[in-house]
Amino acid sequence: MSAISRDEVAHLSRLARIEMTDSELDHLASELDLILGAVARVQEVAGADVPPTSHPLPLQNVFRPDVVTPSLTAAESLSGAPASAEQRFKVPQILGDAE
């Protein structure tokens, strides 16, 4: 017995305001039936002694210590730039008029 009928798929497509052809409805009904069957199999395996989880392994904090390290100076950063102005990268204007 099918878990979801073609009429139910047609009803859902109307609710979602998605136009579907007859062949699409037939195809989607069979696809959704396969998906619901797979979910049912998973539900059979998951017993009451298995707690629901979002991750298979426990998560731990992966932050590193915040250590200040030297970085590039403005001149070093801009040394490879095609154009610069006022210690900033100069790029072509893409919006509005420049002041």
Instruction: Give the chain's domains with CATH numbers.
Output: 6-45 (1.10.20)
CA dihedral 41, 47, 48, 54 (to 10 degrees): -70
> Where do runs of H (alpha helix) occur along the chain?
6-15, 22-45, 74-78
Q: Report d(CA 46, CA 52) in Å as an integer.
A: 9
Q: How confident is the model at residue 98 (pLDDT cuts 50, 70, 90)?
A: low
Exposed, middle or buried, 19 (CB in 10 Å: 0-12/13-18/19+)?
Answer: exposed
CA nearest 3: which of 44, 39, 33?
33
The model's pTM is: 0.42
Q: Report d(CA 29, CA 8) in Å as an integer.
A: 8
**Dihedral pair phi/psi, residue 85, rounded to 5°:** -155, 135
Residue range 47-80, pLDDT digits in tens: 777 777 788 888 888 888 889 999 999 999 999 9
